[in-house]
Amino acid sequence: MALKALVFFLVSLFVVVSQVIISRFIFTCRGLCLTRCGKHSRLKRCMRACEACCKECRCVPTGTHSNYKTCPPCYHQKRTKDGKHKCP
């Protein structure tokens, strides 16, 4: 009886851990940022900033411009030295 419980626990633990690992691979910043920066005149600069913000905040707004409110404050409150939005 104890052996069956232990096996069930280990299988359940494996399923939970594998789901967490898979969900991290599904959420890709690169793909979301390619959409966000697709029409930007300086693609590399936009991608670099977007990926940095995405990794930290785990979000990229929809569309190619604005929509900052669809992400948590972490994303839209970041500013450069000049007071502009750091995240595209």
Q: Is residue 17 part of a domain?
A: no
Q: What is the mean pLDDT of residues 9-34?
A: 66
Q: What is the mean pLDDT of residues 2-20?
A: 65
- pLDDT of 25 > 50? The answer is no
For residue 16, the model assigns a pLDDT of: 58
pLDDT in tens, 31-67: 889 999 999 999 999 999 999 999 888 888 888 888 8
**Cα-trace Rg, the chain:** 19
Q: How many domains does the chain have?
A: 1
- pLDDT of 69 > 90? The answer is no
Q: What value does the mean pLDDT of the chain take?
A: 80
Share of the chain above pLDDT 70, in %: 77
Q: How many CA atoms lie within 13 A of 29 on its CB side?
A: 16
Measured torsion, CA atoms of residues 9, 24, 62, 39, in degrees rounded to the nearest 10: -160
Tokens representing 68 are 């900052």
Q: Is residue 18 part of a domain?
A: no
Q: Is residue 55 part of a domain?
A: yes
- The domain in which residue 47 lies consists of 30-88
Full-model pTM: 0.64
- pLDDT of 10 > 70? The answer is no
